[in-house]
């Protein structure tokens, strides 16, 4: 509820509705409510290995490939932007400024806000860009009074660059209108900020001063650089009545530099330097701010004293000497400053080193995954080469099957002997070992045959080049050349149907492995006849006549 009514208050201020401003604050809205802006985008957070189908196949497994794809997540970040008083000053709504101040809005303190950044139009943010660049920059003014005068502001960009604000045209970047602004993957500059032209108004300056706005050297210097002398007179009149206030950081006025002590040894120097470095980085920055803020005041005092007492008056010399000594103290070869600078450089180097280590670790993981992938692809390639050979044979056989004329198998019906080993490559092929006796049933014109191995009692297809009419005179010869094996064509396309038809017509025993004989006695009779036929050259059908 509080967040909603605060957002309504900011919207009422932007529209200049003073009545709504008072009503909402009376209803519980915070007079110091700030606009909220949420930046959302898709961010690449890493990579993962995925398997993607690249081709669908009809007769074999589909083809897949593995590749790395980016892991994308939706991220968002919400920050506080301009306060209601800041928006009223930016838009020049005098009545809204008066209502806010009367109802308790803070009149002092910095006026600052962030504005978003544009991202890629077609891709996601990188993780590094999201962490560093999602907020394009920060606009800041030392106080609402400086903002009302339109001087003393700056814009610090995400990369550390600083420019003066307002720019030469008098404009400052502000967030889009609304109490709650949501930026979802913005790609245009107009989506993330509105350039408002500051038009300082005397009434707003008077309201801020009358409600207790502090005037320090910073505000006085800002008023002096503004062309409208009426604003300068109002500010100077306030200073003459209430005095010039000190900035919130008063450490410089409370700390008196100690004189340097003589150093007797390197160890004492190291100890002194170490102790000083613990606070140097915290103290130097306030000193610089203090010196810069006093610069304007000292210059104004020196100018007034010069006009009244002359250029060599004690006050003029004192102010000039004080400023020069302060600058020398901070810019001189102070070991504390040098150590502070080195510490900052060390932190930057450590951060960069950590980023490089993370990148190396990621690259090693990707390299390991790629090596595993290469090994898998090499194995797959070997398998595909063998499979391609089989597919070529099947393709040739299918072409014959689909229209080419082929000679039918010849019923050889002879007992031959294995003279060379053969290992089957397909389920319908028969294993052969030297010395086995094989009853050859059908012989195909591609050099293959079907029959029964009487040694193993298994039937199937085998190359005729591994058989001979006569048994080998000795055991397997390891040095003997392996007979060539023709590619299966007719045997592949016609062998199955012919063999099945022949078996179904000639043999009825289908119990267990296919058998070529009705009874054991018939097998012995056929075997003896085949042996006799093999010994008679006149009774053997020449294997060369099959073609």
Q: List, for residues 238-249, the tens digit of each pLDDT value.
A: 999 988 888 765
- Fold adopted by 1-242: 1.25.40
Going by C-alpha positions, the residue among 16, 160, 169 that lies closest to residue 98 is 16
pTM recorded for the entire structure? 0.46
Q: Please give the DSSP secondary-structure letter assigned to residue 475.
A: S
**Higher pLDDT residue, 394 or 175?**
175
d(CA 514, CA 511): 7
Per-residue pLDDT at 73 exceeds 80: yes
Class of domain 410-546: mainly beta
Return the domain boundaries, the chain: 1-242, 246-257+281-332, 334-405, 410-546
Find the mean pLDDT for residues 302-306: 52
Q: What percentage of the chain reaches a pLDDT higher than 90? A: 41
Give the model confidence (pLDDT) of 350-406 as tens digits.
Answer: 778 888 888 898 899 889 889 888 988 988 888 888 888 778 877 777 766 665 556
pLDDT band at 476 (very low <50, low <70, confident <90, very high): low
Torsion of CA 172, 173, 179, 181, to 10 degrees: 180
- pLDDT score, position 487: 81
Identify whether the C-beta of residue 68 lies closer than 8 Å to the C-beta of residue 48: yes
- For 151: left if phi > 0, alpha if psi spans -120 to 50, otherwise beta; the answer is beta
Per-residue pLDDT at 268 exceeds 50: no
| Secondary structure E strands in 30-146 | 34-55, 63-83, 111-116, 125-126, 135-141
Q: Which two tokens stand for residue 417?
A: 């002997």
- pLDDT score, position 359: 86
Q: Considering the chain, what is the average pLDDT of its residues?
A: 77
Q: How far is CA 277 from CA 271, 285, 342, in A?
A: 10, 13, 10
Q: At what angle do helices 314-331 and 266-309 cross, to 10 degrees?
A: 150
- pLDDT score, position 83: 96
- pLDDT score, position 306: 52
Find the mean pLDDT for residues 463-491: 79
Identify whether the C-beta of residue 45 lies closer than 8 Å to the C-beta of residue 73: yes
Going by C-alpha positions, the residue among 421, 455, 452, 471 that lies closest to residue 515 is 452
Identify whether the C-beta of residue 467 lies closer than 8 Å to the C-beta of residue 445: no
Q: Which two tokens stand for residue 342?
A: 């080195």
- pLDDT score, position 316: 46
């Amino acid at each position: 509820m509080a967040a909603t009514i605060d957002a309504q208050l900011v919207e009422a201020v932007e529209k200049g509705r003073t009545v709504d401003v008072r009503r909402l604050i009376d209803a519980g809205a915070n007079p110091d409510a700030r606009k909220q802006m949420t930046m959302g985008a898709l961010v690449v957070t890493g990579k993962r290995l995925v398997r993607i189908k690249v081709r669908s196949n009809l007769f074999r497994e589909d083809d897949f490939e593995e590749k790395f794809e980016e892991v994308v997540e939706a991220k968002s970040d919400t920050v506080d932007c301009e306060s209601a008083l800041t928006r009223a000053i930016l838009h020049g709504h005098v009545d809204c400024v008066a209502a806010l101040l009367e109802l308790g809005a803070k009149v002092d303190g910095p006026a600052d806000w962030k504005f978003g950044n544009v991202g890629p139009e077609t891709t996601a943010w990188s993780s590094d860009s999201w962490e560093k660049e999602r907020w394009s920059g920060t606009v800041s003014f030392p106080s609402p009074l400086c903002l009302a005068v339109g001087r003393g502001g700056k814009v610090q960009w995400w990369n550390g660059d600083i420019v003066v604000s307002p720019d030469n045209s008098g404009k400052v970047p502000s967030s889009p209108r609304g109490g709650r602004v949501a930026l979802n993957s913005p790609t245009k500059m107009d989506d993330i900020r509105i350039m408002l032209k500051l038009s300082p108004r005397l009434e707003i300056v008077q309201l801020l001063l009358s409600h207790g706005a502090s005037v320090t050297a910073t505000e006085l210097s800002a008023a002096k650089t503004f062309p409208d002398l009426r604003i300068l007179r109002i500010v100077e009149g306030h200073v003459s009545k209430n005095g010039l206030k000190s900035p919130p950081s008063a450490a410089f006025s409370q700390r008196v530099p100690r004189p340097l002590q003589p150093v007797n040894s390197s160890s004492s120097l190291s100890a002194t330097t170490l102790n000083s470095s613990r606070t140097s980085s915290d103290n130097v920055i306030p000193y610089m701010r203090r010196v810069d803020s006093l610069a304007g005041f000292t210059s104004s005092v020196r100018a007034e004293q010069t006009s009244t007492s002359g250029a060599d008056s004690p006050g003029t010399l004192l102010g000039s000497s004080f400023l020069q000594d302060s600058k020398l103290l901070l810019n001189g070869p102070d070991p504390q400053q040098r150590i502070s600078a080195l510490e900052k450089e060390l932190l930057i180097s450590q951060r960069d080193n950590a980023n490089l280590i993370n990148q190396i670790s990621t690259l090693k993981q990707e390299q390991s995954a790629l090596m595993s992938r290469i090994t898998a692809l090499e194995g797959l390639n070997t398998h595909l080469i063998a499979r391609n050979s089989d597919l070529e044979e099947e393709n040739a056989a299918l072409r014959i099957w689909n229209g080419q004329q082929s000679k039918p198998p010849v019923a050889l019906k002879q007992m031959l002997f294995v003279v060379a080993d053969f290992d089957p490559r397909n389920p319908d092929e028969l294993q052969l070992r030297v010395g086995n006796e094989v009853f050859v049933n059908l012989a195909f014109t591609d050099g293959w045959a079907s029959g029964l191995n009487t040694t193993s009692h298994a039937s199937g297809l085998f190359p005729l080049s591994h058989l001979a009419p006569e048994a080998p005179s000795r055991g397997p010869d390891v040095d003997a050349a392996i007979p060539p094996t023709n590619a299966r064509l007719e045997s592949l396309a016609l062998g199955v149907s012919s063999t099945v038809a022949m078996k179904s017509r000639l043999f009825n025993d289908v119990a267990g492995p296919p058998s070529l004989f009705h009874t054991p006695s018939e097998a012995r009779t056929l075997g003896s006849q085949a042996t006799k036929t093999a010994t008679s050259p006149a009774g053997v059908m020449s294997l060369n006549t099959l073609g």
